[in-house]
Amino acid sequence: AQSVTQLDSHVSVSEGTPVLLRCNYSSSYSPSLFWYVQHPNKGLQLLLKYTSAATLVKGINGFEAEFKKSETSFHLTKPSAHMSDAAEYFCVVSVSTGKLIFGQGTTLQVKP
Amino acid sequence: DTGVSQNPRHKITKRGQNVTFRCDPISEHNRLYWYRQTLGQGPEFLTYFQNEAQLEKSRLLSDRFSAERPKGSFSTLEIQRTEQGDSAMYLCASSFGRERTQPQHFGDGTRLSIL
């Protein structure tokens, strides 16, 4: 069965410092992995996707993620946090029918 | 690209009433998904359409829930005899093609509150 585990429910950083949001996955075949962001009372916006073309994936707003098969990880990073990055982040795996399995989410707080 | 549109944005109703939500996907998208998100949790899959055919339903979708996608365009999700536990955000998403690698585009959701 496919699943994802987000290792931190809450991450707090200062503006201008790096961001690291951690995600481990479980999959019986080559996974399709995504990171989505959700701002309060809004839908989800795609940040980036991994579909086996390249292990380092660049997304929008300066975010990137690295797929590491040996560690079954897909961590999300950004070199320098901005206040507007404060939101809920979801690591997601897509199963064979295309439906998405979401992690529990990580709340990113950015302090001035 | 007008995005995925959901209506209404908010719905407040009394327990036992029926409610219906509408989702208009991106026009060329053939796949449409419904998810439910409760407070502090990630979204959970409810059901999925490819064109007008409903191909998968979650066990979360009790017999009080029904979804349709007539003509493969917009979709409706109806909840009959609402219960307190139905309070949640209902999200619709759409995608194009047959591959599971295609990202889904989400609407802003309908927030349901049961009094």
pLDDT in tens, B47-87: 999 999 999 999 888 899 999 999 889 999 999 999 999 99
Mean pLDDT of all residues in B95-104 = 81
Mean pLDDT of all residues in B79-104 = 90
Mean pLDDT of all residues in A35-42 = 90
A34: nearest CB among B6, B91, B103 = B103
pLDDT the model gives residue B20: 98
Inter-residue contact A11 to A81 (CB < 8 Å): no
Tell me which chain A residue has its CA closest to the CA of residue B90.
A43
Is A95 in contact with B100 (Cβ distance < 8 A)? Answer: yes
| Angle of CA points A1, A97, A99, to nearest 5° | 75
Is A98 in contact with B99 (Cβ distance < 8 A)? Answer: yes
A90: nearest CB among B42, B55, B105 = B42
Tell me which chain B residue has its CA closest to the CA of residue A99.
B45
Whole-angstrom Cα distance, residue B52 to residue B57?
14
Whole-angstrom Cα distance, residue B114 to residue B88?
9
Q: Which residues contact A109 (CB under 8 A, 6 or more apart)?
A: A10, A11, A12, A13, A86
Predicted confidence band of residue B1 (pLDDT cuts 50, 70, 90): low
Query: What tokens appear for B64 in the block?
Result: 């009080």
pLDDT the model gives residue A100: 93
Alpha helices in chain A (DSSP H): none
Tell me which chain A residue has its CA closest to the CA of residue B43.
A102
| Res A48 pLDDT > 90 | yes
